[in-house]
Amino acid sequence: MRDYKAFTKYSKAGPRYTSYPTAVEFGTNFKYEEYIRFLKEQKQDISLYFHLPFCRSACYFCGCNVIYTAKEESKEEYLIYLFKELELLKDIIDTKRKVVQMHFGGGTPTFFSAKQLENLILKIKSIFSNFDENAELSCEIDPRFLNEEQADILAQNHFNRISFGVQDFDERVQKEIHRIQPFELTQNAINMIRKRGIKSVNVDLIYGLPYQDLNSFSKTLEKVIMLNPDRLAIFNYAHVPWLKKNMRKFDEATLPTPDIKLSILEYCEKFLTQNGYKMIGMDHFAKSDDELFKALQNNTLHRNFQGYTTKKGANLIGVGLTSIGEGENYYAQNYKDMLNYQKAIDNKKLPFEKGIILNEDDKIRKAVIMSLMANFYLDIEMIEKEFNIDFFKYFKEDLANLDEYRDFIQMDAKMIKINETGVLLIRNIAMCFDAYLKKIDEDKKVFSKTL
């Protein structure tokens, strides 16, 4: 294993680049009327994201927008507003456009009952009638909240990708993060899905949690391989206690150091490669026959708020509390506060709170950053042709910032390619092209550390 202590200097606060510009730049200068105009003008295929925000209790590592409740009426009321939001969308956008992707995220989507999930799916399909026969329909599942009836509903409605949250199988880590989840429980949940013919199973892990080290995480990986997932997402824990109060419960002295985290990530890549997986993007792994790996080989992988995808160019429409949508020229986010979300819908308006309209520089930098983040590769000639620029003149200052990472890239007049070690620093490398970071004081707490 490589000695990563020298890499500590690269541990900087920086974005994960699920978008560019990042959500930090979203604001109220983007007006509701402009957003509606963009929605009406969109002609592309559609990708739908539904945020189902409820959880029974807090997982202390979680950075998602979540509401903790055990009240059945809260879920029922939320569904009523989701249905109203869909009705509002029906009057604004062309819902006959092809739907190529739909994702249920949370929260815990399967905290909703089978009947509630079925009602939601039926409502969606009554609004969006043109689902592509090869559409990717996916759902996040907490294995602690899944029963036979829910699995039936997902299978009967042609969901074909299920993502199971695991994080870590080590008992000490599970106790510390407030998520007790035995291996057998997870195995039973995955079997429940697979026996219904849903073939694509993803397992989510997190490294960087309290008490983790290389030895303990390697044991978790060995158990995960027994589950034989088709994909794995292995995320770097984003410690942002100034944003998420639940993270303040951790003793920061128990968090692994950047060099330990890098050694874990390196081990993941070697271990999973030996077991038939390929590294996809900065935090995903897939079997070599998976469409994500094929897209990576062709440099056509895309990254959005739902992770890595082959559905580039689709108009992402976010539905529900705090959901984010993406169009060719904008990002838009719904209200995070439930009362404001409901108030907007009661007033017959979409629950749009803020966003950003992309200028030409945003679009150019977005193309560069997303290509590097998704494919570890940038076709310079393609960028020059698409945007009619001289790449090396346009990015003169940014390329000077890239000098710090010269040992981790290969670059010539036609392309930038990230090498095997550089992949571990991909967020840092992408940050060199981020025009907005220069405006944020380094000591201002906005992003988690890159390592």
Torsion of CA 102, 431, 363, 137, to 10 degrees: -10
Least confident of 279-283, 306-310, 404-408, 422-426: 306-310
430/271 Cα distance (integer angstroms): 26
Q: Helices (DSSP H) in 298-395: which residue ranges?
A: 338-346, 360-375, 380-387, 391-394
At residue 300, the pLDDT reads 77
At residue 362, the pLDDT reads 98
233/307 Cα distance (integer angstroms): 9
- Inform me whether the pLDDT recorded for 443 exceeds 90: no
37/229 Cα distance (integer angstroms): 42
> In the predicted model, what is the mean pLDDT of residues 131-152?
96
- Inform me whether the pLDDT recorded for 304 exceeds 80: no
- Binding-site positions for [4Fe-4S] cluster: 55, 59, 62
At residue 312, the pLDDT reads 74
For each of the domains in the chain, give its residue range(s) and CATH number, in order of start: 17-319 (3.80.30.20), 360-438 (1.10.10.920)
Distance from the first to the final alpha carbon of the chain? 17
Q: What does pLDDT average to over the chain?
A: 93
Angle value at C-alpha 415, between 414 and 420, nearest 5 degrees = 155
For residue 1, what pLDDT band results from cuts at 50, 70 and 90? low
At residue 444, the pLDDT reads 65
- For residue 282, CA distances in Å to 36, 296, 307, 357, 367 come to 34, 12, 10, 27, 17
- Inform me whether the pLDDT recorded for 302 exceeds 80: no
Q: Using an 8 Å Cβ cutoff, are 77 and 64 in contact?
A: no
- Inform me whether the pLDDT recorded for 446 exceeds 70: yes
pTM of the full structure? 0.93
At residue 65, the pLDDT reads 86
> In the predicted model, what is the mean pLDDT of residues 232-250?
92
- Binding-site positions: 49, 55, 59, 61-63, 106-108, 140, 167, 179, 204, 238, 324
320/335 Cα distance (integer angstroms): 9
Q: Using an 8 Å Cβ cutoff, are 317 and 49 in contact?
A: yes
361/346 Cα distance (integer angstroms): 37
- Binding-site positions for S-adenosyl-L-methionine: 49, 61-63, 106-108, 140, 167, 179, 204, 238, 324
DSSP SS3 for 163: strand
374/393 Cα distance (integer angstroms): 24
Q: Using an 8 Å Cβ cutoff, are 334 and 352 in contact?
A: yes
Q: Using an 8 Å Cβ cutoff, are 163 and 138 in contact?
A: yes
Percent pLDDT > 90 in the chain is: 79
CA atoms within 13 A on the CB side of 325: 30
Angle value at C-alpha 14, between 269 and 292, nearest 5 degrees = 40
